[in-house]
Structure 1
């Protein structure tokens, strides 16, 4: 295979005539060839510059204001690093012709193009008639400007690119190259996670997501010959373990921080209340500012208005944690509420407010108590294959006590807790009556029993 223009740029050749370099934090130079620039300058990609990568996280970590466009550039740079590693690999290199390399780079550039504002928490609600951001890619790539750029400059079909992302029809795509490159795009160690862990950590001002050696990890990447998927050579095992642990800490301290989840619970409940007044499918092409303005207008005069204004108004007013249940403390309740449908959690929260109001003689609004629980969608498996010195591959959990603990106890259930959030003014009042997690747990179990009787 002839070397890609982008790899030549990355190695410093022909910048004047073939492209340029774009700088992104912390100090990376991203090679931008003419064909890549046409993709980046399209309206589809420019919209990502106005969509936050971390949504509600900036309410806790003010520096977390980076965009999905910046993240896209980081993922694309990682794609070049992977191609630089594997086009010279004697086993993988023969699979990677120009079409597959082009499709891989395009997939890196477009993997988030289907996102809309606050996409992930809204997707977790699984509302009817709302596609996932992955499904939206099949629509996005039909944009005339983007479609023309792909047809003119890239030696691959949109179908091949979508196959690498696991979207669209997979017929006739079951080849070693597709299997391998798809695992580089979505898997325990992939170009997306390698960027967002470090980039999110950087902008949040914490070290957790940067405490692994990404260069060592990339240099140790290999292929599992039995599955044709990405694996890690034994020399990179420690770096892989550190990446798993970094991801665990980032979920605990950033993505599922209790204040981030309080804001997320407020947003989800607001969307649920307004779903029949707010035409969500029509908002999927909006950027953050226009989407927030529309949500605020739609919420005026509704039960959702105080929550929306607490998130996006002139003063930050967030619900406060009242109780928390995890697999380590409160396992029975955690198991009863984890991966329940969102509508069911809303109904349970309303039943809980009625129970509290009736028992303690306190006026409680249906939206005064919110329940946040792990959604139905699980995170990607952490069990990357480790290729030992004899060539055999084993799951990371079989060779690492750290990974084994996380794998056996289910990564999601450790980092994602069930929490109750209460309107700020009400929480102090309720503390006089319900002071501990155990007290809340008893009332919550009663409400669940009422729900189960109603829905038998």
Structure 2
């Protein structure tokens, strides 16, 4: 065992993080967390716009990184000496895994998730920037002097591989390992990022705690880690039978956190305001240089630039000015609406469109609304928010079932009968209900937001969802014909 894993159960130097976890800190870990790139994460919010709706959600990516690091030690303690890993865990792979957990968010910058969702041309995602932060800071020297792994070992666990079909998925670089028998590296990659991983184990509970809601804390992290195992044919992370209920609860917790926190309508209003402002100011912002800023510096730059632009000033000041003024929801559509018909069709037609298309649709909608309500509606008075192009990672994880008619552990003996592996959705009614349709379609809705001063006149002129559906479908038809 590496020293940090040994420290888990011994009195040692600890850093306390909520809810009441003691995180063991060795001298070499101290050098990493005291480095400039990690200290910068202490000034970058984990949840960004969520704090405008849930005031307590101001925790940092540094705190989250410590939580993921703690989970990495728990997982290493579980798999050290596990014969099903081939090759088995050694100091080099364990060191790389611990460093990857500590550094998995080092490429983050303020509000990067909603801005990356816009897919601005030529702008790289944060997952591909880990090596830049290591190479241009003291981190490389710390790793080379204190750790038994190579820097490239850490990069290989974190940065998407070129040509990886999953490299455009969201979250923190959610990457699936190969479908055939994998290596120890494949296994560790799946532990860092997959349907159930040490990142989600932390952020669901931490975000729930700081947001002041119970939804993300109703699953048993200890039980999940104890039940983790190596998939007998794929070589990636799987769950044993005893962890099935805990896995179900985690899947449901993630679903509810997306529904009630991450995609809360007011959070999405703020997100839509930020995205439109950044889209309109993208050339002046110089996003490549802005990735090195912390929250306060980034907001200050955005405020300064927007001050001289009348169309973006209400958007930026409504988010970061002295008085919160969020845009208001006037219409909402999802893919599983019981009413069906045009409401579902609106979602189908708008979800996962490129961001430039959403801007064009908002501008055409503003022109149409000007005619309907009888007073000027500016292009930035209307925002269309929709699920982004990239999809959430699959919620399914394989559950390893053993044939109870065999002697204990017979399925593990070389040449014996292998255990049966089934997707969680096939043994869990909860997971099955969520897996029947794309996760995004159930938790991410298409919404129309308007300037708060325009809401009343619009709701009077367009009182029903059916009316909004008709208008939006007409706008969609117009734009698509123009593009053709």
TM range (shorter): over 0.9
Match of 2:88?
95
Deviations 1:207-236 (A, max 9, x none): 000011111111111111110010000111
Deviation at 1:170, TM superposition (A): 9.6
Q: Does 1:5 align with 2:3?
A: yes
For residue 437 of structure 1, what is the aligned residue in structure 2? 465
Q: What are the Cα deviations for residues 271-325 of structure 1, in whole angstroms up to 9, with x where unaligned?
A: 0110121111110010000000000000012111111000000000000000000
Within the candidate set 393, 396, 411, 1:383 is matched to 396
1:132 aligns with 2:125: yes
- Give the C-alpha shift of residue 110 in structure 1: 0.3
2:453 is paired with a residue of what secondary structure? helix
Matches within 5 A, 1:49-448: 49-92=42-85, 94-167=87-160, 176-302=183-309, 303-329=311-337, 330-390=343-403, 391-448=419-476
- Residue by residue, what CA displacement relative to the aligned partner does 1:121-177 show, whole Å, maximum 9, x if unpaired? 000001112210001112111024111001001111121111112435699x98610
Instruction: Please state how far the C-alpha of 1:93 moved relative to its aligned partner.
Output: 7.7
SS of equivalent to 2:156: helix
Distance 2:162 2:118 in 1: 26
- Number of residue pairs matched? 448
The Cα offsets for residues 6-64 of structure 1, whole Å up to 9 and x where unpaired, read as 01211215x3xxxx110000000000000001000000000000000000001111000
Residues 86, 183 of structure 2: 8 Å contact kept: no
SS at match of 1:275: helix
Q: Is the 8 A contact 1:162 1:168 kept in 2?
A: no
Deviation at 1:201? Answer: 0.3
Structure 2 residue aligned with 1:30:
23
The answer to whether the Cα contact below 8 Å between 2:248 and 2:428 also exists between their aligned partners in 1 is: yes
TM (normalized to structure 1)?
A: 0.96
Of stretches 377-386 and 351-360 in structure 1, the one that deviates more from structure 2 is 351-360
CA distance in structure 2 between the partners assigned to 1:170 and 1:438 by the alignment: 43
CA distance in 1, matches of 2:137, 2:288: 20
Distance 1:205 1:161 in 2: 34
Q: How far did 1:453 drift?
A: 1.2
CA distance in 2, matches of 1:211, 1:70: 21
Identify if the C-alpha distance between structure 1 residues 104 and 360 changes in structure 2 by more than 3 Å, giving closer, same or farther.
same
C-alpha distance in 1 between matches for 2:438 and 2:296: 37
Secondary structure of 2:42 counterpart: helix
**Aligned CA distance change for structure 1 residues 170 and 377 (closer, same or farther; 3 Å):** closer
CA distance in 1, matches of 2:318, 2:375: 23
Structure 2: which 5+ runs fail to align? Answer: 165-176, 338-342, 404-418
SS across alignment from 2:108? coil
Give the conservation status (yes or no) of the 8 Å contact 2:87–2:183.
Answer: no
> How far apart are the structure 2 equivalents of 1:397 and 1:323?
33
Rounded Cα–Cα distance in structure 2 between residues aligned with 1:257 and 1:387 = 35
Q: CA deviation at 1:392?
A: 1.1
- 3-state SS of the aligned residue for 1:85? helix
Inter-partner Cα distance in structure 2 for 1:445 and 1:196? 37
Give CA deviations for 1:405-455 in whole Å, capped at 9, x if unaligned: 211211111000000001101010111110111111111111111101110
How far does residue 401 in structure 1 lie from its aligned partner after superposition? 1.5
Alpha-carbon deviation of 1:94? Answer: 4.9
Aligned equivalents of 1:59, 1:182: Cα separation in 2: 34
- Describe the superposition over 1:89-139 as per-residue Cα deviations: whole angstroms up to 9, x where unpaired: 231285211111011000000000000000100000011122100011121
Q: Secondary structure at the match of 1:427?
A: helix
